[in-house]
Structure 1
Amino acid sequence: RCPTTATERRAYDLRAEAFGPGSNGPLTLVVDARGAGDPETAVAAVADSVAATDGVASVSTPTFNEQGDTAILTAVPTTGPTDERTEQLVNTLRADRSAVERDQGVSYEITGTTALDIDMAQKTQSAWCPTSRSSSVSRCCS
């Protein structure tokens, strides 16, 4: 753990205090809206769906590519990047994609450092404890 006097730690703590713990572990959503009749409306529907999910503090305004058919959004969890509830949120967001994807003619993926750390932890856990049903490496084989 980083000492509380370190610049990196002070910045991390200040950010969490001012903007919530999830601000230190935002999730990136990449939305492929090439199949949508109206990409802006479709991406807005994705943003609304994600924002309505328990555990999401905020969703950014989308940034579109030059062609206007692919967008990036940032979702900020209400919990920190190492919180088990953030892992549950990522799993929920991924599991709940199909309805909005089907209805809007889009597909989207959830990435970013926090999501990748969760994915790596889950892969590591399955390698260490292939029969374990827990969702966190820290509980592996306990």
Structure 2
Amino acid sequence: MSIKYKGKPDVNVYCPFYARIAKQRGMTNFDEWFNNFFLGKCAIAGKYMSVIENGDIIPCSFNDHIRLGNVKNKNLKQTWVELQTKELTLKLRNKSNLKGKCGICEFNEICGGCRTRAQMYTGDIFESDPSCAYIPKSLREN
């Protein structure tokens, strides 16, 4: 897919479910696409940080309820390094901390749902993403 659309504009779908769907449908070169080209991953505790107008760092651009620091207090590089070792960042990266459907889903390493949506609907950032219609294999077999 990435070769077919090389040189075309990237489209970020902000939809972690999209990767699951692509994998389920047997997308050619899925791993390469997912690791190098897919722009719809949940960004929370990911490869970039979100900074709002007052310099506060938030876990993702959709979640301004949690503050992880402020770029005005330290230089950007030091802030980034410290962010990588924050307890919340480490917990969010570890998919075994996910609960409910997301916790038992066979696709949670490539999807994991939207942690912000889970927090807004359930009050717990590690709960299942309520907008996911997928039923994990272990629930279908029981």
Same fold (TM over 0.5): no
Structure richer in helix, relative to its length:
1
Where relative contact order (Cα < 8 A, 6+ residues apart) is larger, the structure is 1
What is the TM-score of this pair, normalised by structure 1?
Answer: 0.30
